Chains A and B, each alone.
Chain A
């Protein structure tokens, strides 16, 4: 076997894993993994702090912990007093508990309405806290987002949140690795979201269970950091807890100059170390998946999990043509919930809401894509279009670029930062029976409001749909414009 400097070739994942072993895995105990950065939010942390209090424990490393408020926070525009009103008493109480926990344990908190607040997976990269080679966890499954920087980042449960708060460590069994290679180049109108929807449609929602993905290939290298984040974000929808992209110049340029990025000589040393992280030649993966970006078109989901996706020009599949009985039953159930017929096209299907936001697609490049589509036009009548920036920083940047004016002039709502209708905990929700095209990551039954029905798609497809009020292929609008 080939060796690099006398060592076995290693994957990116293995390098980061090995660098963080406080104790290796044995037959009788999992590995003890050191965590560099722990992000917390109001929904999955309260019971962990309760456990700490019950046992008289402190937070071991408040300086490696950061809190934000995002899930149950309102995104309604501020009142005249500049305050964002929390309408729901239970949510308000949860936010109070978050404030108290962070204050009592010395954890910095991006408080609702302040300049850095935002969705937990948007703020980490934005602040330069998310860096290559780190281990990052959060009580939130979309922590996989941070893997775009070549970090090992994954979601944990609340018991594990308590473990990390108290010890900065986690007990983990070593996962397997899966290489996901996306060769070729994307055509116009096709973006990162379409790549990841196509991958999940191919492998299924359980396809990556037990694995960490590494996304590679020309199409991935060609993506911006924000595009890579969109892809890593949805690794969990393919069953993988984590997805990673090897750091490169695109990564370093993105991190450079951010508030928490290393400076001066530290920066040079950091970059030199980061350049050692990519997977060595000859390293092996436990599984491999290959996708051709040249053949990709805009994607959309038709069912009730993110694996039920297809090209936007396809027709809804027929349960009777499913090979396996349980797949047939699953599709039957999904189509009943979605009230769709086998063989039906989705193009031209009227929708009630378009939601542009979430930790998948609420960053500045996502908003720019949507704004380009909507610039100088009006969204369709009888359609609610919500644009929810991922953070206050994204919001400020968008406003500096005048994107907010484009959205408002088009008839879309320009809102405060938060998770909003991605998870429908804060009052932003679909009504039963409504259809939405959403740039978020989950189309589970009721995810965006009880009885609501979600089609997942890219910000381009969402904005194109907003213009027509019916599901629209963004390439159609792009072509019409070029001809005009």
Chain B
């Protein structure tokens, strides 16, 4: 994974609470066995009519929002299923960060493993971003992962939390599977002192 440090991103807004992963990517797109092309299915049922034509009033279809890389959304973003296809679709469509007041647990974990930053801010900042984007669709923010800040167009800096390990991995492009594989001694020691509970291969 590519390390992330800072980036400027144009913001698109979806001021809707509890956006679930079935909206982010509907289940019928989950029959793939790789990650290719999922960006095109992002928010498919909100973005396209049944005949495949784009719905002009949906934010990601509006010309002024093309090239957005930061999504600001209502609270509890990413609730519902564990499908990692949701962050894959967001990343595939060019997003690098999602800003909300809070995220569903599995979505947050999945996002972090794919270099998509889940940025939790207070409600006031979230509302300010909604208004800024409504006034000026070209609104940009600067995200600084090292400093854990986003900088709004008026220069205001807002800090966001991220756990130390996830931050370290993102900043240094560390792959978590590699980290776990490095713990072989600890894992073997655990296995030696705990007998396996069940054998799926038996019976």
Task: Determine which of A64, A93, A159, A305 lies in contact with B20 in the assembled complex, contact meaning CB atoms within 8 Å.
Answer: A305
Residues from 51 to 101 in A contacting B, C-beta threshold 8 Å: 51, 55, 57, 60-66, 71-72, 88, 90-91, 93-94, 97
Chain A positions within 8 Å of B106 at CB level: 141, 155-157, 241
Q: Bin chain B's interface residue count.
A: 35 or more
User: What is the distance, in angstroms, from B45's C-beta to the closest C-beta of chain A?
Assistant: 5
A283 proximal to B (CB < 8 A): no
Task: Determine which of A129, A156, A442 lies in contact with B80 in the assembled complex, contact meaning CB atoms within 8 Å.
Answer: A442
Chain B positions within 8 Å of A43 at CB level: 30-31, 83
Q: Are A66 and B200 touching (Cβ within 8 A)?
A: yes
Task: Determine which of B80, B163, B176, B179 lies in contact with A159 in the assembled complex, contact meaning CB atoms within 8 Å.
Answer: B176
CA gap between A63 and B198 in the complex, in Å: 8
A209 proximal to B (CB < 8 A): yes
- The prevalent SS among residues of A at the interface is loop
> Which of the 9-residue segments B4-12, B143-151, B189-197 touches chain A?
B189-197
Q: Are B27 and A424 touching (Cβ within 8 A)?
A: yes
CA gap between A445 and B196 in the complex, in Å: 42
Q: With a 10 A CB-CB cut-off, give which of B84, B105, B164 has the most chain A CB atoms.
A: B105
Q: Are A205 and B16 touching (Cβ within 8 A)?
A: no
Chain A positions within 8 Å of B183 at CB level: 22-23, 32, 167, 169
A327 proximal to B (CB < 8 A): yes
> Which of the 9-residue segments B62-70, B89-97, B107-115, B152-160 touches chain A?
B107-115
CA gap between A59 and B196 in the complex, in Å: 16
Given contacts A129-B200, A205-B76, A305-B20, contact A162 B102 (CB under 8 A): no
Q: Are A425 and B30 touching (Cβ within 8 A)?
A: yes
Question: A151-181, CB under 8 A of B: which get 1 and which 0?
Answer: 0000111111011001111010101000000
Given contacts A169-B187, A444-B20, contact A156 B82 (CB under 8 A): yes
User: What is the distance, in angstroms, from A455's C-beta to the closest C-beta of chain B?
Assistant: 16
Task: Determine which of A65, A131, A155, A423 lies in contact with B82 in the assembled complex, contact meaning CB atoms within 8 Å.
Answer: A155
Chain B positions within 8 Å of A143 at CB level: 82
Q: Bin chain A's interface residue count.
A: 35 or more
Chain A positions within 8 Å of B20 at CB level: 305, 442, 444
Q: Are B200 and A206 touching (Cβ within 8 A)?
A: no
Q: With a 10 A CB-CB cut-off, give which of A19, A206, A432 has the most chain B CB atoms.
A: A206
CA gap between A91 and B28 in the complex, in Å: 10
A447 proximal to B (CB < 8 A): yes
CA gap between A451 and B109 in the complex, in Å: 30
Given contacts A34-B187, A159-B114, contact A327 B17 (CB under 8 A): yes
Which B residue's beta carbon lies closest to that of A429? B28
Q: Are B34 and A330 touching (Cβ within 8 A)?
A: no
Task: Determine which of A71, A168, A205, A236 lies in contact with B187 in the assembled complex, contact meaning CB atoms within 8 Å.
Answer: A168
B33 proximal to A (CB < 8 A): yes
B99 proximal to A (CB < 8 A): no
Q: Are B31 and A51 touching (Cβ within 8 A)?
A: no
B71 proximal to A (CB < 8 A): no
A44 proximal to B (CB < 8 A): yes
User: What is the distance, in angstroms, from A90's C-beta to the closest C-beta of chain B?
Assistant: 4
Q: Are A51 and B82 touching (Cβ within 8 A)?
A: no
Q: With a 10 A CB-CB cut-off, give which of B18, B103, B191, B202 has the most chain A CB atoms.
A: B18
Chain B positions within 8 Å of A134 at CB level: 197-198
Q: Are B79 and A205 touching (Cβ within 8 A)?
A: yes
Chain B positions within 8 Å of A65 at CB level: 200
CA gap between A473 and B54 in the complex, in Å: 41
Chain B positions within 8 Å of A114 at CB level: none
Q: With a 10 A CB-CB cut-off, give which of B16, B35, B80, B177 has the most chain A CB atoms.
A: B177
User: What is the distance, in angstroms, from A159's C-beta to the closest C-beta of chain B?
Assistant: 4
Given contacts A169-B183, A260-B203, contact A93 B33 (CB under 8 A): yes
Q: Are B113 and A36 touching (Cβ within 8 A)?
A: no
Question: A188-208, CB under 8 A of B: which get 1 and which 0?
Answer: 000000000000000001100
CA gap between A433 and B33 in the complex, in Å: 30
Chain B positions within 8 Å of A156 at CB level: 82, 106, 109
A382 proximal to B (CB < 8 A): no
Task: Determine which of A97, A209, A451 lies in contact with B102 in the assembled complex, contact meaning CB atoms within 8 Å.
Answer: A209
B125 proximal to A (CB < 8 A): no
Which A residue's beta carbon lies closest to that of B165? A29
Q: Are B165 and A30 touching (Cβ within 8 A)?
A: yes
Q: Are A51 and B18 touching (Cβ within 8 A)?
A: no
A329 proximal to B (CB < 8 A): yes
Q: Are B113 and A159 touching (Cβ within 8 A)?
A: yes
Task: Determine which of A55, A167, A206 lies in contact with B104 in the assembled complex, contact meaning CB atoms within 8 Å.
Answer: A206
- Interface positions of B (Cβ within 8 A of A): 15-18, 20, 22-23, 26-28, 30-35, 45, 50, 74-76, 79-84, 87, 102-106, 109-110, 113-114, 163-165, 168, 176-177, 179-181, 183, 186-187, 190-191, 194, 196-203
16 new A-B contacts at CB < 8 Å, known A129-B200, A450-B45 = A44-B30, A47-B34, A57-B181, A62-B200, A107-B200, A141-B106, A159-B176, A167-B180, A205-B18, A259-B203, A260-B199, A305-B20, A425-B27, A425-B30, A445-B45, A446-B26
- Interface positions of A (Cβ within 8 A of B): 19, 22-23, 27-30, 32, 34, 36-37, 43-44, 46-47, 50-51, 55, 57, 60-66, 71-72, 88, 90-91, 93-94, 97, 106-108, 127-129, 131, 134, 139-141, 143, 155-160, 162-163, 166-169, 171, 173, 175, 205-206, 209-210, 236, 239, 241, 259-260, 305, 307, 326-327, 329-330, 333, 423-425, 432, 442, 444-447, 450-451
Instruction: Supply 10 A–B pairs (Cβ within 8 Å), ascending by A.
Output: A22-B187, A28-B168, A47-B35, A61-B196, A64-B196, A64-B199, A163-B176, A425-B31, A446-B22, A446-B26
